[in-house]
Structure 1
């Protein structure tokens, strides 16, 4: 693959995705609001761009890996945005977790400019992004897939094609985030109860991870708690946002989500208590009367 492809947003996921594309033979152009991140990527091969517009002028495919819909709007239509610089027939791949209705509207907005759109939220974490083994939940028109199929396969081990209209990928991602958020909150509650009852935390972790009560989130996130390391791989405020989106989608159709509502309140409490930018496992810090493991 020698396609000129642009990646906007070099955070934990975007940087890994850019490296996966480079490893598979693409000429990768990158832009990030932190110029040093783009320069660091370019130092190992690739092209650092000073703006999204500069990147768009050189690439027929742009992969956007920013935090939310507002940042995506800025990337496309803000000062130095890429939409005005993209050629007709180019493809914009949107990887953020957003309201599905916003994604549907964005597809129409870009179509009016002659730009194809892939609704493509991602999951799997930084390690899988770096190794090209993450999951993409995608939806888009056949013409868009024809242009970017090999690029998607270079970034992800699983590329699910969920429909020909934007929104389907974002709906599935919203449901995934419902489960992820509830599972983290439940894992924190279980570990907190164990600590309150004087159970050895390492022994509890060992037993649960080999028993029916285990979940991927318990196994992954409670390891952070055991090590006392709350360096954010996915921050508390990510789930304030994502569970908020879950509840917004359900509220529109008057659909009850009691577990999601409780988990959202737990992350809101953790955020307000000063843990907004810590790892999402820091939701355990809202429980009173427990002594958490210290950083080893």
Structure 2
């Protein structure tokens, strides 16, 4: 390795420049990485370029020469396409580089994708994320990661740039995905419960802002109640996290639970409310829209929605 190679800034490719991926890509830039970014939406690439990044026309272009490729797509199918589909990153990544997969997926699929990539001489880190768009922009995410020691070592600087807390959960891909699914079970149930509670309060004719004030200082509060109910109070259902996310994630949880012969009735009931919300046309709206579904079913009146 010559001295130029030794002293060059680390290189990263980011695939998926949505609400989370954009913040992660910009956090990498602030940490001194040279970053190329790709998204299927050209406007997202343009936003990243306006922030000083380099746009790419294909995932493979973003991955070429990268030390680390961070994939911030929605699901396993998209992750597989990013890796092995036309214009995918697997062949473009240098041998020994690491693919950091942040999509929420079935742990068995994470293991399969990891084995397929690692057979080519590249590394795979199973690294789902939590924290939301605002924390992504600040480089303050939580990462639930698992993979080989070599994968962790290669991804270390990038993880430090994007996250305030990196949980190293094991040396096999799939463990991180399992932890994320436990988080999603709780998150999905808690959001549905918050929607149920605030819609019932509306049906009872209570002052909803006083309900929020009282409950957030009481034992029944949850992080999701405190975070999502303001969306309902403002009638603001812009998709910070969409209903369809929990249609997907709670569906995965049901599949996992069935395979393990494990009862998951609360997750199943919450899934039905997200499915109903999607059926009513709220699928791409914020997941707080589950409260609107309760309201429509019961005749409760919530604050009028703004344009979504």
For normalisation by structure 2, the TM-score amounts to 0.94
- CA distance, structure 1, for counterparts of residue 285 and residue 305 of structure 2: 14
- Picking from 279, 290, 293, the partner of 2:300 is 290
**Residue in structure 2 matched with residue 126 of structure 1 by the alignment:** 133
What is the SS of the residue equivalent to 2:262? coil
1:64 aligns with 2:74: no
User: Given the alignment, which residue of 32, 35, 54 partners 1:28?
Assistant: 35
How many residue pairs match? The answer is 296
1:259 and 2:266 correspond: yes
* Residue 280 of structure 1: aligned partner: 287
Moved more, 85-94 or 96-105: 85-94
Q: Deviations over 1:248-284 (max 9, x none)?
A: 1111011000100000001001101111111000011
Paired position in structure 1 for 2:3 = none
CA contact (8 A) 2:124 2:151 kept: yes
Work out which of the residue numbers 49, 56, 60 in structure 2 matches 1:49: 56
CA positional deviation for 1:28: 0.8
Secondary structure of 2:261's partner?
A: coil
Instruction: Give 1:42 deviation, angstroms.
Output: 1.7
Kindly provide the CA deviation profile for residues 140-172 of structure 1, in whole angstroms up to 9, marking residues without a partner as x. Answer: 101111111111011000100000000110000
Per-residue Cα deviation, 1:22-53 (whole angstroms, up to 9, x for no partner): 11111111011112321221233121111111
Verify: 1:77 aligned to 2:104, yes or no: no
Q: Does 1:219 align with 2:219?
A: no
CA distance, structure 1, for counterparts of residue 119 and residue 193 of structure 2: 44
Q: Distance in 1 between matches of 2:84 and 2:30?
A: 30
In structure 2, C-alpha distance between the alignment counterparts of 1:168 and 1:227, rounded to whole Å: 38
SS in 2 for 1:140: coil
User: TM-score, normalization: structure 1?
Assistant: 0.98
- How many Å separate the matches in 2 of 1:116 and 1:280? 34
8 Å CA contact 2:65–2:94 kept in 1: the answer is no
Q: Deviations over 1:209-237 (max 9, x none)?
A: 01000000000100100001000100001
> What is the Cα-based RMSD across aligned positions, in Å?
1.1
Q: Which residue of 2 aligns with 1:99?
A: 106
Tell me the residue number matched to 2:4.
none
Question: Which residue of 184, 187, 191 corresponds with 1:184?
Answer: 191
Matched with 2:5 is none
Tell me the distance in 1 between the aligned counterparts of 2:221 and 2:43.
40
The 4+ residue runs of structure 1 with deviation greater than 6 A are: none
SS in structure 2 opposite 1:105?
A: helix
Q: Secondary structure at the match of 2:12?
A: strand
Deviation at 1:295, TM superposition (A): 4.8
Distance across 2 between alignment mates of 1:260 and 1:202 = 28
Contiguous gaps of at least 5 residues in structure 2? 1-7
Task: Assess if the C-alpha contact under 8 Å between 2:68 and 2:158 holds in 1.
Answer: no
3-state SS in 2 of match to 1:234: coil
- Structure 1: segments with no counterpart, 5+ residues: none
